[in-house]
């Protein structure tokens, strides 16, 4: 079995998806309950939300990723709120409580897909042994990695960098919808 057949594949979400789109009018229900025609601002960029659930726990099974939806905002908003170029990021859902209180179960998490070529200590979306994780990684000598949870109820553990290990991107921020 080839590596691409067993590991989740993050789609190449290049500038075509994130480019400004021609605004198309559509109808919404306004605050008064009336139908209103609206048009999106022409300067929006669109960030993909991937179908992957990154486990903050024992690992989520990873099927091939696809784009389930988009988050749209101006490039200035993305740079102000997330402090990154939106063309370099994707969103995944966090699953589990091992990264609480920083990342809670169900949070949408921004990750920088361009950072995977520059591994360093930090919180990463990664796959290992056919499971997808969102964890703090500490890179050790001899091709070892210490996997650390924010929630102290979970013990750190060591994994080896091998064919089954793959970085998808470094954690940037949580999309804040908490109450």
Torsion of CA 61, 65, 67, 69, to 10 degrees: 10
Tokens matching residue 93: 């859902």
- Report whether the peptide linkage leading into residue 101 is cis, meaning its omega lies within 30 degrees of zero: yes
| pLDDT value at residue 103 | 92
All structural domains of the chain, each given as residue ranges with its CATH number in brackets, are 3-175 (2.10.109.10)
**Nearest in space to 122 (alpha carbons), one of 93, 88, 146:** 146
**Nearest in space to 57 (alpha carbons), one of 113, 116, 103, 115:** 103
**Nearest in space to 136 (alpha carbons), one of 118, 156, 166:** 156
CB 131 within 8 A of CB 62: yes
Instruction: Enter the DSSP assignment of 163.
Output: T
Per-residue pLDDT tens digits of the chain, which is 179 residues long: 233 333 333 444 443 334 444 556 778 888 888 888 887 777 888 777 877 777 775 555 455 667 777 788 888 888 888 888 888 888 888 889 999 999 999 898 988 988 877 888 999 999 898 888 999 999 999 999 999 999 999 999 999 998 889 898 999 989 876 65
155: part of which helix (H) or strand (E)? none
| pLDDT value at residue 148 | 96
| pLDDT value at residue 2 | 32
| pLDDT value at residue 102 | 92
83: part of which helix (H) or strand (E)? none
**Nearest in space to 111 (alpha carbons), one of 65, 169, 167, 69:** 169
């Amino acid at each position: 079995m080839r590596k691409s057949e067993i590991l989740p594949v993050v789609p190449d979400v290049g500038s075509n998806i994130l480019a400004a789109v021609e605004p198309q009018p559509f109808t919404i229900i306004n605050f008064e309950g009336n139908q209103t025609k609206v048009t999106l601002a022409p300067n929006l960029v669109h960030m993909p939300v991937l179908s992957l659930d990154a486990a903050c726990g024992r690992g989520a099974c990873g099927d091939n990723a696809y784009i389930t939806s988009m988050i749209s905002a101006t490039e200035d908003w993305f740079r102000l709120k997330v402090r990154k170029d939106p063309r370099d990021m994707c969103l995944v859902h966090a699953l589990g409580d091992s990264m609480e209180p920083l990342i809670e179960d169900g949070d949408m998490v921004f990750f920088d897909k361009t950072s995977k070529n520059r591994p360093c200590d930090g919180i990463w979306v990664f796959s290992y042994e056919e499971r997808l994780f969102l964890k703090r990684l500490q890179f050790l000598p001899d091709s070892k990695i210490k996997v650390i949870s924010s929630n102290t109820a979970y013990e750190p553990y060591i994994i080896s960098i091998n064919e089954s290990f793959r970085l998808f991107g470094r954690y940037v921020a949580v999309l804040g919808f908490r109450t």
